[in-house]
Amino acid sequence: MDNSVKKTTKAKEFLYRYDMNIVDSNRRYQRYVPSYFGALDKYSHQQYHNIPYETETLHTIQIPESSLDRLIEFYERVEESMKYTGSMDVFNHYIQRRNDEKSFREKHSAVQKAYDQYQMLYKLAMSGENNGR
């Protein structure tokens, strides 16, 4: 894996699950960030290359076709589930709940300590199950 990629456990697991490999390309991705919003005619007087932009590392990912098919199928299932519930509110609710819980843990050190202990025990239990397979 490329050294510039954050080597989080989740990233490693995701790449491993779908047999993906990150190829180091030393390239950057540019995203143009307009300094203001308004009518499009305002940009006609401004040179395109003068619009500010931000850059980030561009990763090239190698993935087998079968793994890509599995990702597409997973995405379709999630999309269908969101259509069934009526909107993306389920997803937004889940994200909001996670943010609220994180904020609550940050405000209460005892809750954060208990949460950290739970996470440690959970990971130990999961690693024991994975080794038994």
Encode pLDDT of 94-132 as tens digits.
777 888 899 999 999 999 999 999 999 988 998 887 665
> Helix, strand or coil for residue 35?
coil
Kindly give the parts of the chain with pLDDT less than 50: 1-4
Count of CA atoms in the C-beta half-sphere (13 A) of 52: 5
Alpha helices in the chain (DSSP H): 9-17, 65-85, 89-107, 109-131
